[in-house]
Copies of this chain bind each other. A is one copy, B any other.
Amino acid sequence: MANIKQIAKAAGVSVTTVSRVLNAHPYVSESKRKAVEEAIERLHYARNMNAVHLVKGMTQTIGVILPQIQTAYFSKLIEGIAAEALKHNYQLMLCQTGYRPEEEIKVLDLLRNKRIDGVIICSRSLSLDQVEDYAGYGPIVLCEDVRQRKLSSVYYDHYASFRNAIRYLWDRGHRRIGFTLNRRNSQNSLRRRQAYADILRELGGEARDEWLLDGCSEIRDGRLVADWLLRMKERPTALLLTGDEIAAGFLVAIKEHGFGIPEDVAIVGFDNQPISEVFGITTIDNRLLDIGTQAFNIAYSRIQDPALPPVTEELQFRLIERSSV
């Protein structure tokens, strides 16, 4: 495995010159360039990027913290990040942390240790203060609404989208509205619960605790939601399901019990996943792809220019009407 020195010798030039052609620098005579290229070819030279990274202090790699890859929500987010990373010739270090704080720390340590140039946090269990401790080592971008001095973030307004969806159901005559959550006390969940409470108070509607079910995230959970609904004495006539997979799972399960959608229960999903299209589920398009794209761009621009201050960017959601309400 040849190194730059051997190429230099083989081409009859100095290592500097080799380095210059390697990095497409100007001021190299055509003849020497040719000689170097020929030597590279002949000796099957491949640069050792670890040396480059050491010298440059950068790795052209961004780390991504997410609890689970195998979840439609995160897959879509990654898709957005990955597409943008490709454009800028960056690599992605995907770190599935399962919401384990130790694992999340490990990823932040990759940043400290200069293995990655920046971090995108799709979802976390660490406190913001803990995350902020690492802000000095490189840009950190969160996919949620945080306004912490040293952290950037991109998100869509969970609060407004939830209000909006409930209002939508209310306007269509629904007075008993229930909803699910993933993690009961995540930032996003708290915002949603607040929105639920606020809008129903404003509308003079009822907001019952028993109409909330948490711990729902995948398609299987749709069945749990159905069971939960069936067990209730006073059932909601409409449900906000935080994830189209859950919505689809619920739809299938509840139909088995003879319920019609939307006649017996109306549902609104989230994420605008392909599955919602197939089932005609009305859903909130929360721009996951765009959030991923922006998350990368924010990190990238701050890697290029570390002087740039953190930013917070809000994306507009939209409600996609289909036939489940």
Contacts and interface: CB of A to CB of B under 8 A. Distances in A.
A249 B278 contact: yes
A69 B59 contact: no
Contacts of A307: none
A217 to B, nearest CB: 11
A59 B103 CA distance: 18
A191 interface: no
A243 to B, nearest CB: 13
A70 B61 contact: no
Contacts of A96: 79, 82-83, 86
B92 A219 contact: no
Given A91-B93, A95-B91, A46 B219 contact: no
A115 B220 contact: no
A267 B92 CA distance: 38
Nearest to A103: B86
Number of copies: 2
Contacts of A46: 109, 112-114, 137
B49 A51 contact: no
A230 interface: no
Interface string A267-309: 0000000110111000000000000000000000000000000
Interface in A56-86: 57, 59, 61, 69-72, 75-76, 78-79, 82-83, 86
A250 to B, nearest CB: 10
Given A46-B112, A92-B93, 19 more contacts: A46-B114, A50-B53, A50-B57, A51-B54, A69-B69, A69-B75, A69-B79, A70-B72, A70-B79, A71-B75, A79-B96, A82-B94, A86-B96, A91-B110, A94-B94, A218-B274, A222-B278, A249-B278, A253-B278
12 contacts: A46-B114, A48-B54, A48-B113, A49-B110, A50-B59, A53-B53, A53-B54, A70-B76, A86-B96, A91-B95, A91-B115, A220-B274
Contacts of A103: 86
A223 interface: yes
A219 B93 contact: no
Contact of A75 (B75, B95, B113, B114): B75
A61 B93 contact: yes
A79 B68 CA distance: 8
Contacts of A91: 93, 95, 110, 115
A246 to B, nearest CB: 11
A219 B274 CA distance: 7
A47 interface: yes
Contacts of A279: 252
